[in-house]
Structure 1
Amino acid sequence: MSQPGPVPLSVLDLAPVLDGRTTADALHDSVALARAAEELGYHRYWVAEHHNAPGAASSAPAVLIGQIAAATSRLRVGSGGVMLPNHAPLVVAEQFGTLSAFHPGRIDLGLGRAPGTDPVTAQALRRAAGPLAGGDFPRQAVELLGYFDGPQDDAAAGVRAVPAEGNRPEVWVLGSGLGSAELAGSLGLPFAYAHQFNAELTVPALRAYREAFRPSAVLERPYALVAAFVLAAETDEEADLLAGPIRVAAIRTVRAGGRQNAYPTLAEAQAYEYSAHDRQIVDGFLGRQVIGGRAEVRRRVADLIAVGADEFMAMTVAPDFDTRLASYRILAEEVAALGSGPLAGARRG
């Protein structure tokens, strides 16, 4: 089923581990949700990379992408993203070249510059001493892209990522700041901005991306996706209630120094007593995200599209699978309703 709208609509999945459920449950839910998203007309389905985070089962994006791509037929499937500091570019090229060989024209490789975990775990992933060097990301990204191009001439000696040659996925740069936006533009690649992490910089980052953009062999014009946290319900009151677990999870994550634990139940969230500091944390994390009933969701999504998004991606965590699926269904219906308004013509033009 195809859903009309002002821009394509996509999914970002953390494979959330809900209280009382297992990581296996979370991973199977991701496959089921991807199937449903395809039926609802969603354009792409990305999985995140998190490590040493009991609240997120998406630690091996390439493996999960393969399962989801095999279970669907039209949906683009990819990483949101692969955290490049954790991996050798050669290995990433081999993995995603293999995925693209199995699912040609359907695989996305989103690249992030953060480790997606705590410093101790980041060192364990890298198996190397010394601090992470953020300045290495552009060099690693260029090296990775080169593996998909293959050897430049027959006499060239060097390492080849054999499965990657001729099997290039659609490569994206992910970020929540200006540096990644400028890098994406300079490389002529599409850019995905994480509004859920840094809402205040959404507009400046999109502007920086478009100003830095240089046409490339894969992209003639800039193309920017905005990702945000979304929890849609029939009414504002219902959405506010359902958002309780993610609010409490955000507070616990901050208190744990960034380590994401399993999400609390709805009952636990309802019983939680917020301090003034807790409310500041919640407002900083969710205050500018898309939470509400149908009319509120439609308004907030329209506002985010209007800042210059060519595509909108929703990350949803809810108390149970059925509620999560219902949120994505409501979002699809409300974004489809935007397709007949003046915003649709403005974005398509």
Structure 2
Amino acid sequence: MTTTPALSLLDLIPVRQGQTTGQALVASKELVEVADRLGFTRYWVAEHHNMPAVASTTPATELMHLGQNTSRIRLGSGGVMLPNHAPLAVAEQFSLLSAVYGDRVDLGIGRAPGTDPYTSAAMRGHLGEGRFVDRDGKQIDPVEQFPQHIVDILALLSPAGAAFPVPGGRQHLMHATPRVDEAAQVWLLGSSGYSAQLAAALGLPYVFANHFAGRGASAAMELYRDSFTPTEHGQEPRTFMTVNAAVGATTQEAWDLVQPFVYQMGQLRIGPELQAQRLVGDDVESVMTDGHRRIGESMWDSWAVGTATEVADRLRGIADEFGVDEIMIQPIAGAGPDDPIDRVPARVRTVEALAAEFGLERS
């Protein structure tokens, strides 16, 4: 029996040639408002740094702005890269979002840096002579602290709060402020078995970054489901699948629309430098190499690209394959040279076409 999954949306807030970050945000604001109106379940933004083609660097700040005209879609991070931040800062940011948006806030957390090693060092205060150290002067690696920091965030968001030891054998009780009735739902994200195991041990929902990794999803999700332990954070496994998707009037048009994304993925691996996203057509074709295409070919068997019917069938097949009742698409259709500078019509058309194919409930 074919599954008809719920649909959600992942947005890296792409920035194209000639476009400012502000104009990219205007385009994403239109995207989330369309998704909200058409009945998408979630809208998540990512955290990446020092990438000219990606404007999404600070999920909580972006969501406060992008969610303003929405009424029902869940707003979340896909995800906050926790080693870049203090747990209390993250808990307070998402408590503030919950104070504004109520019970429709998701806090998706990952442990990758979301950037290159040098920018990662800067994010963590490691440039120059700066170092994170413990009370004995020993250097601390925030990645190694990841499990404890997840536990700290869960405690800070809970009604009971988190207790921390202080000198004199006493404990200091701390809450994320503002304190809210409905705390953000915490999700763990990952592209390996590490976060799957941690999510299972803590009873948390888990998402494999299939839109990025493209391999290993089956093993990670099986590990998560098989080792899941019910806790106060969840009684049974909860997961969904992320998929890169683009809809065109024809199959060929859809593949033409994703070439700027193919080139961008190639640049991440072989390019001498990153740059704003190229435009569909001659702009991207003039710089595309066989190397870029080979990298795309190694990834796109996990994508859903084609006509609306073809993409919908592909997404239903993925839902069946992985046993999920929700698919989060990253709309990767690029902009053309004649598109308005503060709009990406092809991304909106992908969302609209799939909402129609899946019969989502419009508001």
1:133 offset after TM fit, Å? 5.0
User: What are the superposed Cα offsets for residues 41-93 of structure 1, whole Å, 9 maximum, x if unpaired?
Assistant: 10110000011111111111111111122221111101010000000001001
Alignment CA distance shift 1:101-1:189 (3 Å): same
Cα distance change on mapping 1:204 and 1:335 into 2, 3 Å: farther
Matching residue of 1:333: 356
Q: Distance in 2 between matches of 1:261 and 1:286?
A: 22
Match of 2:258 among 243, 246, 269: 243
- What corresponds to 2:308 in structure 1? 294
Unmatched tracts of structure 1, length 5 or more: 340-349
How big is the alpha-carbon RMSD for the aligned residues of Structure 1 and Structure 2? 2.2
Q: Corresponding residue for 2:96?
A: 98
Instruction: Give the counterpart of 1:197 among 198, 212, 216.
Output: 212
Q: Contact 1:83–1:115 at 8 Å: present in 2 too?
A: yes
Tell me how many residue pairs correspond in the alignment. 331
Q: 1:167 to 1:98 in 2, by over 3 A?
A: farther
**Structure 2: which amino acid aligns with 1:43?**
T
Unaligned residue ranges in structure 2 (runs of 5+): 132-138, 164-169, 336-343
Q: Shift in Å at residue 163 of structure 1? A: 1.9
Please state if 1:188 is matched with 2:186. Answer: no
Deviations 1:103-125 (A, max 9, x none): 11011100011010111111111
Q: Distance in 2 between matches of 1:281 and 1:113?
A: 25
Q: Which residue of 2 aligns with 1:142?
A: 151
Paired residues of 2:7 and 2:41 also in contact (CA < 8 A): yes
The whole-number CA distance in structure 1 between the counterparts of 2:230 and 2:174 is 28
Q: Using structure 2 for the length normalisation, give the TM-score.
A: 0.85
Structure-1 separation of matches of 2:248 and 2:46: 24
Taking a change above 3 Å as real, the CA distance of residues 103 and 252 of structure 1, as seen in their structure-2 partners, is same
Q: Is the contact made by 1:224 and 1:308 (CA closer than 8 Å) also made in structure 2?
A: no
State the shift of 1:165 in Å: 5.9
The 5 A counterparts of 1:148-187 are: 148-149=157-158, 150-151=160-161, 156-164=171-179, 166-187=181-202
Partner SS state of residue 127, structure 1: coil
Q: Which residue identity is paired with 1:32?
A: E
The answer for the alignment partner of 1:54 in structure 2 is 52
Q: By how many angstroms is 1:158 displaced? A: 4.0
Conserved 8 A contact 2:203-2:229: yes
Q: TM-score, normalised by structure 1?
A: 0.88
Q: CA deviation at 1:187?
A: 1.0
**Letter paired with 2:293:** R
Taking the aligned partners of 1:234 and 1:215, their CA distance within structure 2 comes to: 46
Q: 2:243 aligns with which of 225, 228, 231?
A: 228
Relative to structure 2, which stretch is displaced further, 74-83 or 286-295?
286-295
Deviation of 1:148 after TM superposition, in Å, equals: 1.1
CA distance in 2 between partners of 1:88 and 1:166 (Å): 23
CA contact (8 A) 2:152 2:162 kept: no
Deviation of the 1:34 alpha carbon: 0.6
Match of 2:87 in 1: 89
Structure 2 counterpart of 1:9: 7
Distance 1:303 1:224, change over 3 A: same
Whether the 8 Å contact between 1:206 and 1:308 is mirrored in structure 2 is: no
Inter-CA distance 131–261: structure 2 relative to 1 (3 Å threshold): farther
Q: CA deviation at 1:160?
A: 3.4
Cα gap change, 1:291/1:168 in structure 2, threshold over 3 Å: closer, same or farther?
Answer: same
1:335 positional shift: 3.2
Q: CA deviation at 1:167?
A: 4.5
Identify if the C-alpha distance between structure 1 residues 287 and 97 changes in structure 2 by more than 3 Å, giving closer, same or farther: same
| Shift >6 Å, 4+ stretches | none
How far the C-alpha of 1:141 sits from its partner, in A, is: 0.6
Match of 2:116 in 1: 118
AA aligned to 1:301 is L
1:127 & 1:54 partners in 2: Cα distance?
22
> Contact 2:5/2:316 (CA < 8 Å) preserved in 1?
no
Q: Residues 61 and 79 of structure 1 are in contact (CA less than 8 Å); yes or no, is this contact kept in structure 2?
A: yes
Report how far residue 273 of structure 1 moved: 4.8
